[in-house]
Structure 1
Amino acid sequence: MESFLSKLHDITTFIFDVDGVLTDGSVFVNESGEQTRAFNIKDGYAIQLAVKCGYQVCAISGSRSKSAVYRLNSLGVTDVYMGTHTKAERFKIYLEEKITHASNVLYMGDDIPDLAPMKLAGLPVCPADAVEEIKAVSQYISTYPGGKGCARDVIEKVLKVQGKWMSEQAYSW
């Protein structure tokens, strides 16, 4: 855990998968075929706080959920890449565009499509209910499952280590 905590000092960027990380992976389908997802309010609070504190926050997902884009945009996340089937390639392009080094990225994924970008990230992490292959490459496994506080868990840890949690900067609106 000490090695994990020391790496939090260098994090400037959070990249999250959506389904299974920012949601619990459930997809609700109504009579007209529209798919919706449930997002955790505590995860949302931490995400918008990270944005306000100047962190880069990005979502990369294979899904094409319009509701997920709407939710993330409402939290201040403008870098939302949906329908991405080659996440490692999108990861590399994002780093080039943002002039960010992989060692400064915390990437949270939960399933096989996240494996390649997690191997590129400086700090790969996952929710408690991630698949075994993802847990094997993760440097931290949250005690919270996907969609139930895992994003809040890692964001809060980074902000605390960097002295930005409960700081005046974070709460001056």
Structure 2
Amino acid sequence: MNPPSYLTNLPADILARAAKIRVAVFDVDGTMTDGRLWYAEDGRETKVFHVHDGLGLKQLMASGVLVAIISARISHPVALRAEELDIAHVYQGQNDKRACLLELLDALNLSPEQAAFIGDDLPDLPAMRISGLAVAVANAHPWVAEQAHWQTRLGGGQGAAREVCDLILHAQGKGAAERERWQ
């Protein structure tokens, strides 16, 4: 089984960057979700996550790549989703995502080139700029997209996270084995 078409003919530098990734760090609103904020009548916040993203994140972790979340907002649905997916590194209420990323990398004994940061808007740029692989989702703000190393075809909350996971697995030579597992 061949890789998805969006993984064929990738530039060599993108594959080289993705091959080095040991931790994939995701923003949430606009990246793991479509960016809209939903509030119930009683003020409770709800979010919608895509199931394809969840499986991709689990596949990435099973392959030995850590997954982390760094979000400026604090949201109970994010904590629930992270728990459901067994994501251990969850940082909410982080206004300085670059500083948070550097602390995470220090704790994991990793270098910035071993990190991918996936975002969609201006608060993500400082963390993206120091990452070995900076990814903007399809619906990212244009200023973010133009500074990313790679941009997904799908938007946040619509499978973009899965595309990133597939890219990393493919670049690390683990994509074919993952596909075979489901035959």
Structure 1 and Structure 2 fold alike (TM over 0.5): yes
Where do residues 105-144 of structure 1 align in structure 2 (5 Å cutoff)? 105-144=115-154
Match of 2:34 in 1: 24
CA shift in 2, pair 1:75/1:166, >3 Å: farther
Deviations along 1:24-46, one digit per CA (max 9) or x if unpaired, are 01121111100111000000000
Q: Distance in 2 between matches of 1:62 and 1:140?
A: 23
Structure 2 portions without partners, runs of 5+: 1-10
Give the TM-score of the pair, scaled to structure 1.
Answer: 0.94
Q: Distance in 2 between matches of 1:51 and 1:89?
A: 23
Q: Distance in 1 between matches of 2:176 and 2:41?
A: 44
Q: Distance in 1 between matches of 2:138 and 2:132?
A: 20
Check whether the contact 1:95–1:102 (CA below 8 A) recurs between aligned residues.
yes
Q: Distance in 2 between matches of 1:25 and 1:136?
A: 19
Identity over aligned residues, as a percent?
30
Query: How many residues were matched structurally?
Result: 171
Deviations along 1:98-129, one digit per CA (max 9) or x if unpaired, are 10110011110100100101111111011011
What is the CA-CA distance between 1:166 and the residue it aligns to?
Answer: 4.5
Moved over 4 A (4+): none
Q: Distance in 2 between matches of 1:16 and 1:104?
A: 14
Q: Distance in 2 between matches of 1:162 and 1:124?
A: 17
Question: Are residues 1:7 and 2:17 paired?
Answer: yes
Structure 1 portions without partners, runs of 5+: none
